[in-house]
């Protein structure tokens, strides 16, 4: 995709009711600006018209290509502060690692720049599907 096409995609995703469709390799990716929390918006997506729950749990191509990976600590900041006061030997005996993390996958993106970088990195070919003109959907004549 060209810079102009990426700018067009970003501009359309600033409005809540203007979805964007991309062809990423052999996948049809539809992007929407959607409410994700009480007072915040994010870019959600559908792959070939679907958002399947199984993609969250198993390692699959859709999750690697389109979901937002988020690395999180197992222990909260408060818990880590408390555990730092305990001896390292005791923590090691109990198998507690303060630096242990896990990856969760989100179905939304809060940054267009991050979404764009992820798509470019994980897909070989990205094409913008042109918008269908509104005149096609206008009904001519009388409806019976």
pLDDT band at residue 108, thresholds of 50, 70 and 90?
very high
Phi, psi (5° rounding) for residue 8? -65, -45
Per-residue pLDDT tens digits for 23-72: 999 999 999 999 999 999 999 999 999 999 899 888 999 999 999 999 99
pLDDT band at residue 94, thresholds of 50, 70 and 90?
confident
Q: Please report the pLDDT score of residue 131 as a whole number.
A: 78
Using the predicted structure, report yes or no on whether residue 142 has a pLDDT greater than 90.
no
Using the predicted structure, report yes or no on whether residue 138 has a pLDDT greater than 60.
no
Contact 11, 5 (CB under 8 A): no
Q: Please report the pLDDT score of residue 13 as a whole number.
A: 94
Q: Give this prediction's pTM.
A: 0.80
CA-angle at 36, arms to 34 and 42, nearest 5°? 55
């Amino acid at each position: 995709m060209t810079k102009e096409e990426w700018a067009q995609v970003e501009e359309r995703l600033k409005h809540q009711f203007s979805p964007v469709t991309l062809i990423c390799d052999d996948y049809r990716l539809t992007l929407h600006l959607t409410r994700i929390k009480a007072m915040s918006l994010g870019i959600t997506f559908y792959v070939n018209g679907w958002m399947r729950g199984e993609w969250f749990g198993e390692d699959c191509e859709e999750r690697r290509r389109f979901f937002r990976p988020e690395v999180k600590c197992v222990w909260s900041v408060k818990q880590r502060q408390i555990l730092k006061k305990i001896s390292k030997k005791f923590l090691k005996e109990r198998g507690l690692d303060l630096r242990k993390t896990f990856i969760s996958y989100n179905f939304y993106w809060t940054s267009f720049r991050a979404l764009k970088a992820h798509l470019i990195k994980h897909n070989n070919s990205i094409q913008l599907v042109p918008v269908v003109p509104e005149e096609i959907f206008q009904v001519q004549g009388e409806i019976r």
